[in-house]
């Protein structure tokens, strides 16, 4: 992948993010109800008017959007400022993100590692034993993993390994011991998916002519599998990594909720129910940016693995 | 002339029949797929008929948190309702949402992919770039935002057009539309690929030289030919949508009580977990139900793909 193409893709992100921010901004504003409807004590009209004035919710919409973007106003999206949260009054959206995001990222990457570490070996194993009982067993395990979502596996693991045999802590976020159950819960589904993709890719790669050539040249079986076939057989997994990371983030809503992990995933659902406008828009943009960048990264990796691919 | 046409027809129908028959024979040889289809069909029959057999699933009673017994096969829930009936009701709703959502995704995906493939050139490029961009966006997050924000709007509209409470209807409409709207991407890519291959074929050229319009060619000549592949990916979209639906219902954004979906039943069960007592049946049976349903759908989809998708037939 040429540097020019990479920079072009990077530049494309800017208008894309503006469009996304506009859509998200319009969506939350179309909704009936406001951020101050669900206060514990209903505010008097005066107080509500003052609150609205403080957060500039009484301005016309286009002015609010410009303020949010930061054109002609202090702060704003272009300076990396998502504004104040309307529900957690003394915090800005940036505060909440800087607190929660590292936790979510750690959880996400450990689960990602788990799903690749389990899925790829399982996929290779079943592909090499194609048609044998190992293949059937492995394929059954991977299809079973795909059919057990995090919100099913999580409670079962909590009941078995947290309550019945208290080996692991069932909640909160402390040492590395706390990561294990959530990471397994989140990663199992993707491990199944990765295993299925690896099996498909590997069994196709093993039938290619260059494998026959390598065999004829007397290359050892181990080297054939890991140095020749794997390079091509892994490509479906690389292609899938983009959507995988997206689903991983979404899955983290459930897992963070189940294990009471102070990540960022919990906030999206709550804020959009509470009409915390700035928070919802901020999180939607955050997730989109993360994913777009990760996808770009996946494309770079793909280009390195498969030299036949030409971008641009 | 008439004779030629009719003999052509006979040949064509014989060819089509034998192809379908071969597909059926291959599908029948696939044991997991056959077992899964039998399981699915019986599950659908039972869940449709069960309301006429027993209504214990809807009735509140004093028998709270009863473990599985002869009377309550799957135990009872927090309101003393029969969990067996609830799980069947949840299966019904989950399948309904999956089916309608998959059909929505089918319509969008086929139209988008076929149009892009048929128009080609700049349009094709632009439409497929859009799909690429949408692929890299966290679509389910948009669904969550759309469901929470537009619910009131749709509810108001339903209530003003049809009298009565519109909250259930609003949720259903949003689930169908939202899940369908984020699940059409793969379908459109596959249909586009097929159409790109088909439009170079001579029968399309013949149709064009007869002066038929783009839409007629699409509708009469191209779509019937992508039917097989479309059916395969429709079956593979179904479990994905059922999974999304149960995920949203688990978060409390999908089906609302007293209606049940498999996801909301699991959520009810998970809410009862505490270190003192575990009502295991409340989480176990809905979870088994969901996993069995998803597995059956996946096996059938995989079986159909093995039969219809030319790419995967090379492997065998």
Bridge partners for B82 per DSSP = B76
A287 belongs to a structural domain: no
Please indicate, yes or no, if residue A95 is contained in any of the structural domains: no
Distance CA A202, CA A126 (A): 9
DSSP label of A59: S
Comparing A171 with B74, which gets the higher pLDDT? B74
Task: Using alpha carbons, select from A123, A128, A158, A127 the residue that is nearest to residue A141.
Answer: A123
What number is the average pLDDT over the span B154-178? 79
Identify whether A91 is part of a domain.
no
Model pLDDT, residue A38:
62
Residue A127 lies in a domain: yes
For A16-37, letters b (16+ CB in 10 Å) and e give beeebbeebbebbbebeebbbe
CA B78 – CA B76 distance, rounded (Å): 7
Report whether pLDDT(A55) > 80.
no
The pLDDT of B142-164, averaged and rounded, is 79
> How far apart are the C-alpha atoms of A136 and B140, rounded to whole Å?
33
Of A84, A79, A18, A80, nearest to A57 (Cα)?
Answer: A84
**Residue A124 domain-assigned?**
yes
Between CA A166 and CA B192 the distance in angstroms is 53
pLDDT band at A111 (very low <50, low <70, confident <90, very high): very high
Q: What CA–CA distances, in Å, run from B239 to B112, B179, B231? A: 22, 12, 14
Q: How many CB atoms lie within 10 A of CB B121?
A: 8
Looking at the domain assignment, is residue A13 inside a domain?
no
Calculate the CA dihedral of residues B101, B92, A258, A272 and round it to 10 degrees.
Answer: 40
| In the predicted structure, residue B1 carries a pLDDT above the cut 60 | no
Is the pLDDT at A32 greater than 70, yes or no? no
Q: A159–B273: do the CB atoms touch at under 8 Å?
A: yes
Q: A310 pLDDT band (50/70/90 cuts)?
A: low
Most confident of A55-64, A131-140, B102-111: B102-111
Residue in the structure block whose two tokens are 């954004």: B253
What is the reported pLDDT for B4?
46
Q: A292 or A1: whose pLDDT is higher?
A: A292
Q: Of the segments A213-217, A273-277, B20-24, which one has the largest average pLDDT value?
A: A213-217
- B310/B297 Cα distance (integer angstroms): 21
Q: Which residues in chain A have their CB less than 8 angstroms from residue B136's CB?
A: 242, 246, 291-292, 295
Distance from CA of B20 to the nearest CA of A (A): 26
Q: How far apart are CA B65 and CA A143, in angstroms?
A: 32
Distance CA B255, CA B171 (A): 7
Chain position carrying tokens 């797929």: B33
Q: By the 8 A CB rule, do B30 and B306 touch?
A: yes
Report phi then psi at A284, rounded to 5.
-60, -45
State the angle between helix axes of A180-205 and A150-157 in degrees (0 to 180), rounded to the nearest 10: 130
Q: Is the pLDDT of residue B22 over 80?
A: no
Extract the tokens encoding A285. 């943009």
Query: Which range of residues forms the domain containing residue A132?
Result: 100-261
The answer to pTM > 0.90 is: no
Total domain count for chain A?
A: 1
Residues contacting A68, CB < 8 A, separation 6+: A21, A25, A76, A77, A83, A278, A281
Closest by Cα among A49, A81, A262 to A173: A262
| Residue A125: Cβ-neighbour burial (10 angstroms; 0-12, 13-18, 19+) | middle
What structural domains does chain B harbor? Answer: 96-262 (1.10.3720.10)
- Say what percent of chain A tops pLDDT 70: 93
User: What 8-state DSSP symbol labels residue A44?
Assistant: P
Q: Which of A195, A214, A206, A198 is nearest to B314 (CA)?
A: A206
Give B270's contacts in chain A (Cβ within 8 Å).
Answer: 151, 154-155, 258
Say how many C-beta atoms besides its own lie within 10 A of residue B260's C-beta: 28
pLDDT at B308 exceeding the cut of 80: no
Asked if A293 reaches chain B (Cβ–Cβ under 8 Å), the answer is no
Please report the pLDDT score of residue A194 as a whole number: 92
What CATH number is associated with residue A255?
Answer: 1.10.3720.10
Do A97 and A82 meet the contact criterion of CB atoms below 8 Å apart? yes
Q: What pLDDT score does B186 carry?
A: 86
Average pLDDT, chain A: 81
| pLDDT confidence bin for A188, thresholds 50/70/90 | very high
Task: Categorize the per-residue pLDDT at B316 as very low, low, confident or very high, splitting at 50, 70 and 90.
Answer: very low
Nearest 10 degrees: CA dihedral of B132, B101, B271, B256? 130
* pLDDT band for position A43 (cuts 50, 70, 90): low
Complex-level ipTM: 0.79
Cβ contact B149:A27 at 8 Å:
yes
Supply A215's token pair.
């065999």
Q: What is the model's pLDDT at position B3?
A: 44
pLDDT at A42: 61
Q: Tokens 């135990």 belong to which residue?
A: B75
CA atoms within 13 A of residue A305's CA, in its CB half-sphere: 19
C-alpha distance from residue A155 to each of A151, B84, B86 (Å): 7, 20, 19
Residues of chain B whose beta carbon is less than 8 angstroms from a beta carbon of chain A are 133, 135-142, 144-146, 148-150, 152-153, 156, 239, 243, 246-247, 250-253, 263, 266-267, 269-270, 273, 275, 278, 280, 283, 287, 290-291, 294-295, 298-299, 315
For residues B150-175, give the mean pLDDT: 78
Q: Which letter does DSSP use for residue A78 in this model?
A: G
Do A31 and B140 count as a contact with CB atoms less than 8 A apart?
Answer: no
Proportion of chain B above pLDDT 70, given as a percent: 86
Of B278 and A191, the one with more pLDDT: A191
What is the longest distance spanned by two Cα atoms in chain B?
84
Q: Which whole number is the average pLDDT over B230-244?
A: 87
Which residues between 150 and 189 in chain A have a beta carbon less than 8 angstroms from any beta carbon of chain B? 151-152, 154-156, 158-159, 163-164
**C-alpha span between A69 and A81 (Å, rounded):** 9
Q: What pLDDT, on a 0 to 100 scale, did the predictor assign at position A224?
A: 85
- Residue B305: the pLDDT is 81
Tell me the per-residue pLDDT of B191-210, one tens digit each, with 9 for 90 and over: 888 888 888 888 888 888 88
Please count the residues of chain B.
316
- Name the residue among B237, B242, B289, B252 with its Cα closest to residue B73: B289
Q: Is the torsion defined by CA of A58, A64, A68, A70 positive or negative?
A: negative
């Amino acid at each position: 992948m040429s540097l020019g193409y990479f920079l072009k893709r990077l530049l494309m992100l800017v208008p894309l993010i503006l469009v996304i921010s506009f859509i998200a901004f319009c969506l939350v504003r179309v909704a009936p109800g406001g951020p101050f409807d669900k206060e514990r004590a209903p505010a008097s009209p005066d107080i509500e008017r003052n609150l609205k004035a403080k957060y500039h919710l009484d301005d016309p919409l286009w002015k609010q959007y410009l303020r949010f973007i930061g054109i002609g106003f202090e702060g704003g999206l272009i300076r990396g400022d998502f504004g104040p949260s309307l529900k957690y009054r003394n915090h800005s959206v940036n505060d909440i993100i800087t607190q929660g995001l590292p936790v979510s990222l750690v959880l996400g990457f450990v689960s990602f590692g788990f799903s690749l570490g389990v899925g790829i070996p399982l996929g290779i194993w079943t592909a090499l034993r194609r048609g044998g009982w190992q293949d059937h067993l492995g394929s059954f395990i991977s299809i079973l993993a795909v059919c057990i979502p995090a919100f099913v596996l999580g409670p079962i693991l909590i009941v078995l390994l947290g309550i019945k045999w208290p080996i692991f802590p069932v909640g909160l976020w402390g040492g590395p011991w706390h990561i294990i159950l959530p990471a397994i819960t989140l990663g199992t589904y993707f491990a199944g998916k990765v295993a299925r993709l690896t099996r498909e890719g590997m069994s196709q790669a093993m039938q290619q002519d260059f494998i026959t050539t390598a065999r004829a040249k007397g290359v050892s079986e181990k080297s054939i599998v890991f140095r020749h076939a794997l390079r091509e057989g892994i490509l479906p997994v690389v292609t899938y990594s983009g959507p995988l990371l997206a689903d991983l983030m979404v899955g983290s809503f459930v897992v963070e909720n189940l294990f009471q992990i102070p990540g960022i995933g919990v906030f999206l659902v709550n804020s959009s129910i509470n009409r915390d406008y700035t928070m919802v828009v901020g999180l939607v943009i955050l997730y989109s940016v993360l994913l777009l960048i990760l996808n770009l990264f996946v494309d770079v990796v793909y280009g390195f693995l498969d030299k036949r691919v030409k971008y641009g | 002339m008439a004779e030629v046409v009719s003999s052509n027809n006979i040949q064509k129908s014989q060819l089509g029949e034998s192809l379908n028959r071969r597909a059926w024979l291959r599908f029948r040889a696939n044991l997991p797929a056959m077992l899964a289809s039998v399981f699915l069909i019986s599950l659908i029959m039972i869940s449709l008929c069960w309301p006429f057999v027993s209504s214990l699933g809807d009735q509140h009673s004093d028998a709270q948190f009863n473990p599985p017994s002869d009377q309550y096969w799957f135990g009872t829930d927090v309101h003393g309702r029969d969990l067996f009936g609830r799980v069947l009701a949840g299966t019904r709703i989950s399948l309904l949402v999956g089916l309608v959502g998959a059909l929505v995704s089918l319509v969008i995906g086929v139209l988008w992919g076929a149009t892009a493939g048929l128009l080609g050139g700049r349009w094709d490029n632009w439409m497929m770039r859009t799909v690429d961009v949408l692929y890299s966006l966290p679509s389910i997050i948009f669904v969550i935002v759309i469901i929470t924000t537009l619910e009131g709007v749709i509810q108001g509209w339903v209530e003003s057009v049809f009298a009565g409470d519109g909250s259930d209807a609003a949720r259903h409409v949003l689930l169908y539309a939202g899940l369908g709207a984020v699940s059409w991407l793969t379908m459109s890519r596959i249909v586009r690929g097929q159409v790109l291959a088909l439009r170079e074929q001579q029968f399309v050229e013949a149709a064009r030289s007869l002066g038929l319009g783009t839409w007629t060619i699409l509708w009469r000549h191209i779509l019937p030919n992508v039917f097989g592949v479309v059916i395969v990916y429709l079956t593979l979209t179904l479990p994905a949508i059922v999974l999304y639906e149960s995920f949203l219902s688990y978060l409390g954004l999908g089906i609302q009580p007293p209606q049940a979906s498999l996801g909301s039943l699991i959520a009810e069960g998970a809410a009862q977990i505490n270190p003192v007592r575990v009502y295991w049946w409340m989480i176990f049976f809905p979870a088994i139900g969901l996993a069995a349903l998803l597995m059956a759908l996946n096996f059938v989809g995989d079986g159909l793909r093995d039969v219809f998708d030319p790419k995967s037939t090379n492997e065998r």
